Structure 1
Amino acid sequence: MNRGLWITASGAVLLGAALLATVTLRAGEERIVLRDTDPDTVALGAAVYVEHCAACHGANLEGQPDWRSPGPDGRLPAPPHDETGHTWHHDGETLFRLTKFGIGALIDDPDYASNMPVYDGVLTDEEIVAVLSYIKSTWPEDIRARHDDMESR
């Protein structure tokens, strides 16, 4: 291999490695991390939950009756966020996106009918993370551990 080609190839490899490191670092920085063991975050989340979520999802995170069956309007009632629901089956990033942008955006169906409001522009990202952290803080330890395991993958 001639020297010029070798230098060009080496430069391309280094540039690619630098780009990969930057993308990986940025992805790590932007990753949603729930802080269910941080008392200040959980307290903020509890207050925001009472104001914006409890009317539908219940004061005790119990959700609405028959939450798995569509109501007369064809829409699903609000699910519970306690251990009896499916919230803990989803990673923090999915829960964040669902809360901020809505179910329709999450499943790429702008016509999806849901009673779940979109909180983009209503709650800050920090408030959304705080609410989700509060919800997670109420789960039994074994479910929190399972959620932590999912988050670490």
Structure 2
Amino acid sequence: MRGLVAVFAIGGLAALGAAAYVWTGSAANVQSGVMPATVDLVAGKALYAETCAACHGANLEGQENWRSPGEDGRLPAPPHDETGHTWHHSDQVLFDYTKLGGREMMAAQGMEFDSGMPGFGDQLTDQEIWNILGYIKSTWPEEIQDMQAARTNGVPVN
């Protein structure tokens, strides 16, 4: 039975990853595009500490066993450093996932996914979300930043 659950979990992860990777549209009432040219990294770091670190770690390390569903069937919070998959997604996907939450963002794409990621659109302004994302991205090595930028710009990256 555990093997079957693992197969379904891996399949669900693959579907989520594929959907998030190829999706470039935006859900209703969500800013479209890429990160603004100007973000406040100091404010982003402070907002990350206040809003995100409880789940994603003070050092962007994520929760243990983040690739395996917990007892509730949900995936633990992934790391946002270069060891995680955050950099695999475009700016738009990261923004929408943060603003809408995982379940709502995926539902907007016609997919059902029980995500533990809440939406922060009622707590944070769009600029504050961009500031947080800018801070996260600023911690990545240059090569990772370049690959994420390519994905944001629609350039295939292996």
* Same fold (TM > 0.5): yes
Question: For the Cα contact (< 8 Å) 1:104–1:112, is it kept in 2?
Answer: yes
Q: Report whether the alignment pairs 1:87 with 2:86.
A: yes
Which residue does 2:119 correspond to in 1?
A: 118
User: Cα gap change, 1:127/1:101 in structure 2, threshold over 3 Å: closer, same or farther?
Assistant: same
CA RMSD of aligned residues (A): 1.9
Q: TM-score, normalised by structure 1?
A: 0.73
Which residue does 2:3 correspond to in 1?
A: none
Question: For the Cα contact (< 8 Å) 2:102–2:116, is it kept in 1?
Answer: no
Superposed, which structure 2 residues align to 1:61-140 within 5 Å? 61-108=60-107, 112-140=113-141
Q: TM-score, normalised by structure 2?
A: 0.71
Query: 2: distance between equivalents of 1:84 and 1:138?
Result: 12
Unaligned runs of 5+ in 1: 1-28
| Offset from partner CA, 1:51-81 (integer Å, 9 cap, x none) | 0000110000000000000111111100000
Higher alpha-carbon Rg: 1
Letter in 2 for 1:120: G
Which residue does 1:56 correspond to in 2?
A: 55
Unaligned runs of 5+ in 2: 1-30
Deviates more, 1:143-152 or 1:67-76: 143-152
Query: 2: distance between equivalents of 1:110 and 1:30?
Result: 20
Query: 1: distance between equivalents of 2:150 and 2:92?
Result: 14
1:133 Cα offset (Å): 0.5
